[in-house]
Amino acid sequence: MSVLGMLLRFYSYLYELILSLFILGLALVAILSHGSGLHLGMLPWTGHTLLHWLLGFGVVGLLSLALALAGKLRFLFLLFSLAVFGLMARGYFLGAYAFSGKDEFRTAIWMTLGALLAIFGAWSQFGRKIRS
């Protein structure tokens, strides 16, 4: 396995782990505080539907990561990485989302580019295996 492939894979695991934990934590805090006032303008859902999607997305992210690390159903991790990038690209740049300033715009660009790089890391787990 190449060093670049290993680094990309490690990066994608770490990126999706942090993102999944953040999303799951955000959903749990909002649910436990009985707040349906959470509004994320880059996502297509609102209210309780948003909370349920965030909770489900966080759980699916952690589950796909655990399965990929175990070497089982690795394509799910790739699909999750593609979904993350798709939601970010659509929500931030292809929708009606309005940035509040240059800093938020830069953060969205870096997060979306990070998600794109994570796709390559998820893809790298499908490389050919050399038998010894």
In this prediction, residue 129 carries a pLDDT of 58
Q: How confident is residue 126, by pLDDT bands cut at 50, 70 and 90?
A: confident
pLDDT tens by residue, 22-76: 999 999 999 888 766 788 989 998 888 999 999 999 999 999 999 999 999 999 9
**Domain segments of the chain: what residues?**
3-126
pLDDT tens by residue, 63-113: 999 999 999 999 999 999 999 999 999 999 998 899 999 999 999 999 999
Whether residue 132 has pLDDT greater than 80: no
Quote the CA–CA distance of 64 and 96 in Å, as a whole number. Answer: 30
Quote the CA–CA distance of 132 and 33 in Å, as a whole number. Answer: 55
* Averaged pLDDT score across all residues of the chain: 91
Do the Cβ atoms of 65 and 13 come closer than 8 Å?
Answer: yes
